[in-house]
Amino acid sequence: MDHYQTLGLRRSATKKEIKEAFRRCALKFHPDRHSLSPPAVRDQAVLSFKQVSEAYEILIDDRRRAEYDFAGGRRPEGFGGRRAAHTSAHRGYGYGGAARNSRPAFDWEFLFRYLTSRRFLLNVALASALLGGAVVVERSGDAIWRMNNSGKSFEEAMESLEKAKVRREEG
C-alpha cells in the first residue's frame, strides 16, 4: 500500500497538504458516515479509514516519513512488529536463480536502524560507563602509588620491602 496514493498526494506534499488530504479522506470513509450502509460497504469504509489513518500517522511525522521514503514506499519493519527474518527468496536466491530484487548483499538499512536503536545506545552507554570506571580506578591507583612511593620505581619499592622483611626476620 502506497501511503501517498492512499491520500491522493505527490511525494513532495507539504504537511499542510497532508492534513487537508487526511481530513478529506477521513470525512469520506469515517465509519459513522456509513453506519446505515450495507455491511460490505461499511466494512470497506472501515478498512479504508484505517489505511488513511495509518498513512496520515506515517506521513505527518518527519522521522517516520523519512524512514518510509527511504524504504522505497514499503512499510519499514520498525512500524508495528518485529523485523521479519530474511529468507533466501527475500535475498534474491531461488526461483530459478534469477534475483527477485536488486537489494545489495549487505542490508545497510538494518544496520542503521540497529545502531540507532534505544537498546544498542543503552548498551554503548553502559559499556562506556564501565570503561570509564576502570580508567578512573587505574589512574587513582597510580596516583596513590606515586603519593606513597615518591621517587621510587615499582622494582625499587619491591626491593625495599624485601629488605625490610629480611630485617624483621633477622631481628
Q: Note the pLDDT tens digit of each residue in 134-164.
A: 999 998 887 887 777 777 777 887 888 899 9
**Domain that includes residue 20, residue range:** 1-77
Q: How confident is the model at residue 28 (pLDDT cuts 50, 70, 90)?
A: very high
Residues 72 and 140 in one domain: no
The domain tally of the chain equals 2
Within-domain flag for 70: yes
Helices (H), the chain: 3-7, 15-29, 39-60, 62-70, 88-91, 108-115, 118-148, 154-170
Q: Average pLDDT, stretch 60-78? A: 77
Output the furthest CA–CA distance in the chain (Å, rounded): 109
Residues 73 and 6 in one domain: yes
* CATH number of residue 26's parent domain: 1.10.287.110
Within-domain flag for 87: no
Q: How confident is the model at residue 89 (pLDDT cuts 50, 70, 90)?
A: very low
Residues 71 and 133 in one domain: no
Residues 21 and 71 in one domain: yes
pLDDT value at position 102?
52
Q: Find how far residue 160's CA is from the centre of its chain.
A: 57
pTM: 0.44
Within-domain flag for 85: no
pLDDT value at position 40?
92
